[in-house]
Amino acid sequence: MSMAVIASEDNRFPYHHGFDVVEIQRAVEEKMDGGRTRGASTISQQTAKNVFLWPASNWIRKGFEAYFTFMIETFWSKQRIMEVYLNSIEMGRGLYGVQATAKYNFETTAAELTTGQCALIAATLPNPLIFDSAHPSPYMLRRKTRIMHIMKLLPKFPPQEKGISTTTSTKHHHRHHHSE
C-alpha cells in the first residue's frame, strides 16, 4: 500500500523533507499558463493536515500545516509518517485508513490486499468521496493501471537494506492485535 500511495500521490516522498519543491513549481507554472489549479501536497503535508488540523483550507491552516509538516519530518521517520498517513487518510465516504477500506470494500485485511487492490485504493485519493475503489469506473481502472506501472519504476519503500519491512511488521502487528 505504501508503494501505491507513493506512486499515486508523492513520487519523491522518500527523498524530500516534507515539501516537494519540484511539484510546487510545476503547479505554479501550470496555473500561470492558464491551467487548472492543482495541489502539490506531499504525503507528509497530508499527514500533518489529517492528524493535527481542521479540514477547511485557509491561510492560517496552511501556516499550521507547514509547521506540523516540518515537525513530523524532523521527529518521525519516513516509515512512521507513512504508517500514520495510511491509518488516517480518508479512502471513501466514512472510511478512514487502509484497514477499514480493505475490510469494507474488499472483505480482507490491509496485510492481504493485492497489488491491484492497493493501486485501486490509491487511485481514489484525489477525491475519495467521488471515486469508489469497490465500484471502479473506467477512469479509475485506467488510473489503477498507471499507478501499478509507476510502482514498478520506483525504488521500494521502505528500502530493503533496512532489515525487516514495514509490511512484515504490520502483518505481525495485525495478528497480535487480533489475538487480544
Report the alpha-carbon distance of residue 121 to residue 10 in Å, rounded: 15
Distance of CA 167 to CAs 3, 23, 56, 173, Å?
11, 28, 33, 10
DSSP assignment letter at 70: H
CATH number of 2-179: 1.10.3810.10
Q: Which residues are 90's β-sheet partners? A: 96
Global pTM value: 0.79
Q: Could you say which residues of the chain have pLDDT below 50?
A: 162-180
Q: CA quadruple 101, 72, 161, 163: dihedral positive or negative?
A: negative
Segment 42-85, tens digit of pLDDT:
999 999 999 999 877 788 988 999 999 999 999 999 999 999 99
Pull the grid cell for residue 44.
507528509
What per-residue confidence (pLDDT) applies to 102? 97
Report the alpha-carbon distance of residue 54 to residue 35 in Å, rounded: 28
Q: What residue ranges do the domains of the chain occupy? A: 2-179
What per-residue confidence (pLDDT) applies to 57? 78
What per-residue confidence (pLDDT) applies to 27? 57
